[in-house]
Amino acid sequence: MATPKRPLSPFMLGSYYRIQLTSFGSLLHRATGVALAIGSLVFAGWLVAAASGEAAFAAYSAALASLPGKVALFGFSACLVYHLLNGIRHLVWDAGHGYEIPKAYASGYAVITLAIIFTAVLWYVGLTAGGAA
């Protein structure tokens, strides 16, 4: 009996596999983890600049205050919020709750929605508080 030709991996997109919310959330969690690792290097650079003197700190702060710097900081904060909320979701799963498909989808949509809301609130408060920025 001949074995039918099937895809070797579910990651072969197209007619074989359609991305679902759970797989998208997993991929996004991994990507935000990588972004946070890169962002931590930027934060370490900021600390080194602060320790190196006033001129280095002013130059680094000016780079972060520029439009590309603010976009990068916004992306970093969005990754941080999403990764935190999705990590809490995974802790709930580790406790044995929320594995049912409707609950998994509901928690996925909740994490994405709350990440957008929390990031927007974080930046609104940060930009309107009148702090050091």
Q: Which residues are annotated as a binding site for heme?
A: 83
Taking the CA atoms of 19, 22, 28 and 30 in sequence, report the sign of the dihedral they define.
negative
> Can you say whether the dihedral through the CA atoms of 109, 110, 116, 117 is positive or negative?
positive
3-state secondary structure of 69: helix
Q: Which residues are annotated as a binding site?
A: 83
Give the C-alpha separation, 59 to 54, whole Å: 9
